[in-house]
Structure 1
Amino acid sequence: MRHPKVKPEHRPHRYADGTIRIGGEIYGVAAEIDDPDGWVWAALTLMDGSRTAEEVVTRLGQEFPALRARAARSVVEQLIASGYLEEAGAVPPPELAAREADRYSRNHAFFRRVDLTPREHGWEAQLRLRNARVVVLGLGGTGGHAAWALTAAGAGRLHCVDPDVVELSNLSRQMLYGEADIGRAKAEVAVRRLRAVNSDVTVTGERRRAGSQEELAEIIAGADMLALCADEPGGHVLRVWANRACAAAGIPWAGGGYNGPLVTAGLYRPGHPCYECVSAGEQARRRPGTPVDLGGPGVLPTSAGISGLLVAHAVISEITGVPDLVPGRVSGLNLIAPDQLIDVRHPSRPDCPVCGDAARRKAGLDREMNHTQNPD
């Protein structure tokens, strides 16, 4: 970083005792720094983008004669490595057209604030999203909102899959359709609407039902990630198919939905606890004989929308790494008891064929063989 400056979202504050607060009040991003001698505050003040990092080191040495050059350089280097600074005057990369930079300027501000990894220009997350191919399976209440959010955010290629036609009862929660669409294939209508949202995203679709794990594997072939928003055939069965098909393809997936006021989304990545292990762990935690209800017809547009947006957020986070969400976890909320947050995590079962010890060893061997055959 040649001309470092503090990101505007992380403008520091100094307390009376000399402690520095940087990163605002956001949990997981903000930090407090003990600065009894005032070195860090002076460095942050100097790093306004008008000086090189080496010039800041020199000025620190001049202001604090007792501060050795090595220590001054260490202060500057640690601040740069913290992720609270950015390169002054950085411009969008040439891969992004001016219209895209304008369209995604708010995305950029979000990533800049949340991403604490030093970057060359700050658009790296957007470029990763732009280069991704995502399959959205199921275009109902959850899937429609997820597909819209991914399109609006700039996922480069989006493939939308659903077997159904639009019905009147869909319109209370499925945002992509209107009364004039009743009787039309959801995939066809969704593609048309999503293309109108963002012409810079390549949106495709097909009217198709995933009737087996093999068919699901065909649908996700070539994708970077799956957003599973369908609930047929059988919610758990379909999730198991997705779990195994995505593991075989070596890609992550996110899935979510609603069960009355409960809204959840889960993120799964190869090499981490899989859906089947999380599901088995949660089942074992319940009292024997307790029925498991994975959803039903009770839904409001709010619960459908939140579930879809949580799935989209999981997909965006997994693709960009910002924020780096924990995989193998289901999270969500209860809309009638907002203080009851949902956070379900369970370890991999050693004998799990998807993420257990043997599966991880096999995946490691496969990666080694691929690297040997394709060293580049």
Structure 2
Amino acid sequence: MILSDEQLARYSRHITLKEIGVKGQKKLLAAKVLIIGAGGLGAPAAMYLAAAGVGTIGIADCDDVELSNLQRQIIHTTEDVGKSKAESAAETIKALNPDVTVKAFHGYVNSSNIAELIADYDFIIDGADNFPTKFLINDACVLGDKPFCHAGILRFEGQLMTYVPDEGPCYRCIFEAPPPKDAVPSCREAGVIGAMAGIIGSMQALEAVKYITDQGELLTGAMLIFDGLKMEWRKVKLPKSVPSCPICGESPTITKLYDEEQPSCSLL
């Protein structure tokens, strides 16, 4: 692959970085990232990955754009209200960077289709805001040997961790099963500051870029927690492995995908 003059100009700030350079930019242009959820987390992640020149970006979301989404879901505009989030996100990405091929999936992500959805991608972004989907993403990635970045936000707080096969714990290692229904409030119920979505979603994009270019340290074996009110970061060390994990432990009991429950369509 030879970069065109336009690409050399577009990605010049990447190419200047010794950690990226032309070689790293070519890796980004050849990479494929799937974002499950075109909402608060998926929106900034998608925009920064598109701007970075990730060659193929998949967007999966079953919802349509609502006016209340616009406080944090920056990939959508007022004119997009009523449109499929996946299609709205795809239009914004294409306008931002014509180098990017966008594949939009408007529908529920569930145990019957997620394995096929993730199969062709190099890295997965978890942009869901419900526990059934988060656990499903984890299970599909563990069984499919796919790396992914988990994140969650609520009120003024956010967290993220990255799973890479055989390099650290998975989501179920830390949170074995979803909490009881309604035990944890949703963003709709408890609220979330819009900028928190931008901070954490952008960090998910950074994790993807580091993985693709093989640079820096990923959040494998650690959970990064941010308190926006106190402006405090806390990095919690996680166990390298959890032998009792029901999906990646020594005697796994989860050997095929299933739906914890039918989640609501809302994705942050």
Q: TM-score range by the shorter chain?
A: 0.7 to 0.9
Partner letter of residue 103 of structure 1? R
Partner letter of residue 73 of structure 2? Q
| Distance apart, 1:358 and its partner CA | 5.6
Gaps of 5+ in 1: 1-93, 116-120, 284-290, 360-376
Partner letter of residue 305 of structure 1? G
Aligned partner of 2:231 in structure 1 is 338
| Distance apart, 1:139 and its partner CA | 0.4
Instruction: State the alpha-carbon separation in 2 of the partners of residues 153 and 275 from structure 1.
Output: 27
| Distance apart, 1:202 and its partner CA | 0.8
Pick from 289, 299, 308: which aligns with 2:201? 308
Question: Is 2:10 the counterpart of 1:99?
Answer: no
Q: Quick check: 1:254–1:267 contact (8 Å CA) kept in 2?
A: yes
> Aligned pair in 2 of structure 1 residues 317, 206: CA closer, same or farther (>3 Å)?
same
Q: Deviations over 1:123-156 (max 9, x none)?
A: 2222221111111110011111111011001111
| Distance apart, 1:332 and its partner CA | 3.2
Instruction: State the alpha-carbon separation in 2 of the partners of residues 323 and 313 from structure 1.
Output: 10
Instruction: State the alpha-carbon separation in 1 of the partners of residues 227 and 66 from structure 2.
Output: 28
Pick from 111, 121, 124: which aligns with 1:223? 121
Aligned partner of 1:296 in structure 2 is 187
Instruction: State the alpha-carbon separation in 1 of the partners of residues 205 and 185 from structure 2.
Output: 20
| Distance apart, 1:356 and its partner CA | 2.4
Q: Quick check: 1:268–1:329 contact (8 Å CA) kept in 2?
A: no
Question: Is 2:39 the counterpart of 1:140?
Answer: yes
Instruction: State the alpha-carbon separation in 2 of the partners of residues 255 and 187 from structure 1.
Output: 19
Instruction: State the alpha-carbon separation in 2 of the partners of residues 224 and 255 from structure 1.
Output: 15
Aligned partner of 2:161 in structure 1 is 266
Pick from 233, 236, 242: which aligns with 2:137? 242
Pick from 331, 339, 356: which aligns with 2:249? 356
Secondary structure in 2 aligned to 1:316?
helix
Q: Deviations over 1:327-367 (max 9, x none)?
A: 143213110112342435233221334332467xxxxxxxx
Secondary structure in 2 aligned to 1:158?
strand
Question: Is 2:237 the counterpart of 1:320?
Answer: no
> Aligned pair in 2 of structure 1 residues 249, 199: CA closer, same or farther (>3 Å)?
same
Secondary structure in 2 aligned to 1:323?
coil
Instruction: State the alpha-carbon separation in 1 of the partners of residues 7 and 185 from structure 2.
Output: 39
Aligned partner of 1:3 in structure 2 is none
Instruction: State the alpha-carbon separation in 2 of the partners of residues 217 and 148 from structure 1.
Output: 25
Aligned partner of 2:264 in structure 1 is none
Secondary structure in 1 aligned to 2:21?
coil
Aligned partner of 2:75 in structure 1 is 176
Instruction: State the alpha-carbon separation in 2 of the partners of residues 352 and 208 from structure 1.
Output: 30
| Distance apart, 1:193 and its partner CA | 0.9
Instruction: State the alpha-carbon separation in 1 of the partners of residues 219 and 159 from structure 2.
Output: 15
> Aligned pair in 2 of structure 1 residues 354, 109: CA closer, same or farther (>3 Å)?
farther
Instruction: State the alpha-carbon separation in 2 of the partners of residues 254 and 163 from structure 1.
Output: 20
Q: Deviations over 1:86-137 (max 9, x none)?
A: xxxxxxxx52222112111112234x1xx3xxxxx93222222111111111
Give the TM-score, by structure 1 length: 0.61
Give the number of the structure whose residues are more often helix, by fraction. Answer: 1
Q: Which has the higher contact order (CA 8 A, sep 6+)?
A: 2
Secondary structure in 2 aligned to 1:141?
coil
Give the total of aligned pairs.
247
| Distance apart, 1:295 and its partner CA | 4.7
Partner letter of residue 151 of structure 1? A
Aligned partner of 1:278 in structure 2 is 174
Q: Quick check: 1:277–1:347 contact (8 Å CA) kept in 2?
A: no
Cα-Cα RMSD: 2.4
Q: Quick check: 1:135–1:220 contact (8 Å CA) kept in 2?
A: yes
> Aligned pair in 2 of structure 1 residues 153, 292: CA closer, same or farther (>3 Å)?
farther
Give the TM-score, by structure 2 length: 0.84
Q: Deviations over 1:244-297 (max 9, x none)?
A: 21122211011213111111221001112111112249x9xxxxxxx9747523
Secondary structure in 2 aligned to 1:255?
strand
The structure whose Rg is larger is: 1
Q: Quick check: 1:135–1:159 contact (8 Å CA) kept in 2?
A: yes
